[in-house]
Structure 1
Amino acid sequence: MFIVFEGIDGTGKTTLINNLKKYFCENENINIFTTREPGGKNCPAAEKIRSLIFEFDNLSIVTELFLFLASRIEHVKDVILPNLNQKIIFCDRYYFSTIAYQSSKNITSDFINEINVKALELFNEPKLVYPNITFFLIPKSDQDLYKIMERKSHVKENRMDEKDFEFYHEVNENYKKIIKKYNNPNNFISLDPLLNESELLEQAKKIIKKMIKNENI
């Protein structure tokens, strides 16, 4: 089972993943494999590409796009596919992040989606690996987005943390467009990132437990 968590920086994706992993390990005796993009657990090539992405602040949008894609190819090849049938995978970001962050007037969401599929076909994987569930942690309004920005203002891990409100507003709007355009009510789940940790955990674990039961895991 492959479960992805999406949203702008500061929405609490990583905290939710860690809380869910702890819950399922301690209460359900289910081990969770966690990974992330760009980069990937036990994937040195993808992590090296990640470091290049965040090292330089003047990369063109095209260069960024293909670096993210290169990292994803290595991640899918070396991490996602080998673990897909044996484990439950929680992934912090996946290809919808690339659409949300790299979409612009010159690079459309359709183009980004197409090259993701085509690139994976080149190493004989017939199609993009789609998540069983994608959780979107999306601020509903500008006011909510300001609160998220304020919450993350003290965190400066990489150059993306220096981006301003206008940048994250555009990314958040792109996420809303993604949900509307690619919406699948069976595996697209929107969560309110302003809920407290326990409320988010309760909502997410209920959905995951139901899917685990249906899949007989």
Structure 2
Amino acid sequence: MPRADFPTPVKNLIAELKRLPGVGPRSAERMAVWLLQNKKAEPTALAEALVLAEEKIISCPACGFFATAEVCEICTDPKRDETLLCVVEQATDVLPLERSGAFKGRYHCLGGKLSPLDRVSPEDLLIPQLISRIEAISGEMEIILALGADVEGEATSNYLADLMRGKPVKITRIAQGLPAGGGLEHADELTLIRALQGRRDF
């Protein structure tokens, strides 16, 4: 006797949900069942929102952030300091910096980081666009490297710094150290080294 299973449309939905990052088979199954059985789920509204986002959202050709027009709101904001350019790995990295309210310049999203193991080379990132943006600005700029502290992030930062040497830019890097509310007992050695190296007057 064959075992009962979900109908094919439900299995197809589970298969699509499983493709999402961080979603395993059991989670995908729970989400699919919730979408189909919960009165508050509104799966049609979810589907419409996905279709609309796919149709309307583009990657800003200037900086790589999310945009609905030819360029994003950040690139068209005249109050932004164009001599300050913060380089991040992904478009989603812009949001924590924006929410902090501490940065008033512009951004450049690389679209990833150098990773030979994953076959990500400089040609796969938006590095030529970064250089073009730097060369288009008259006068000195500050380039802030806000990349990850892992091996790939370090390699990408070093590569960019070497590439920009000799250009009229000041290259800086965001400070790295202990998180607010964190104690020394939870910090790894590399974090403590960077916290000590990045100390400032109190």
- Of structures 1 and 2, the larger Rg is shown by 2
Settle same-fold status: TM greater than 0.5: no
- TM-score, length-scaled by structure 1: 0.30
Higher helix share: 1
- TM-score, length-scaled by structure 2: 0.32
